Amino acid sequence: MENASKALIIAGGILLALMLLSILVYVAGSMQDWAGSQTRDELTKQIAEFNKGYEVYNKKRMYGTDVISVVNKANDDNIRNQDDEKYWVNVTVLDKDDKSISVDNSKEFKMTIFTCEEMKDSNGNGRIDSIVFRQI
């Protein structure tokens, strides 16, 4: 009888230890999922903030000064991300005849009116990486 009661106590202890171990494994897995979701949330916020800086230029009518500003912003971002080309922003400026024009600081260019024709994420990473402006 004494051996049977010791066997029950040992079995109960083993079951209790297995339950505690299972709970610890579950909690550790949940913490890892939580940390992963926090990282994804932070990345989503960073992408939204990045895109917000360009979406202000998604207008039907703007002057060349705005185009100069977005080109300078894109150049600064590209310099910051020069090691990772998937984060580069390409800005194309077209005239009325679909010819690419260079952005300059001349008074004529500053007063020229443009429209944002396209703003997209062509890499699929959520970040705007291609912008097309066309002269009106």
Taking only the tens place, the pLDDT of each residue in 22-73 is: 999 998 887 777 777 777 888 889 999 999 999 999 999 999 999 999 999 9
Domain range enclosing 70: 58-136
- CB atoms under 10 Å from CB of 72, counted, come to 12
The whole-number pLDDT of residue 135 equals: 94
The whole-number pLDDT of residue 45 equals: 92
Domain shared by 51 and 5, yes or no = yes
Mean pLDDT (the chain) is: 88
By C-alpha distance, which of 87, 74, 78 is closest to 126?
87
| Locus of tokens 């971002």 | 77
Cα 134 from Cα 118, distance rounded (Å): 9
Domain shared by 74 and 125, yes or no = yes
| Locus of tokens 């009325």 | 96
Sign of CA dihedral 121, 87, 46, 38: positive
The pTM for the full model equals 0.67
Q: How many domains does the chain have?
A: 2
Cα 43 from Cα 20, distance rounded (Å): 35
Tens of pLDDT, residues 49-60: 999 999 999 999
The whole-number pLDDT of residue 124 equals: 80
- The band of 1, judged by pLDDT with boundaries at 50, 70 and 90, is low
Cα 129 to Cα 54, 95, 101, distances in angstroms = 10, 21, 19
Domain shared by 44 and 7, yes or no = yes
Domain shared by 83 and 136, yes or no = yes
> Domain boundary residue among 22, 39, 55?
55
Percent of all residues in the chain with a pLDDT value above 70, rounded to a whole number: 97
Cα 23 from Cα 32, distance rounded (Å): 14
Domain shared by 82 and 112, yes or no = yes
Q: Which of 80-89, 109-118, 125-134 has the lowest mean pLDDT?
A: 80-89
Domain shared by 68 and 97, yes or no = yes
The whole-number pLDDT of residue 87 equals: 82
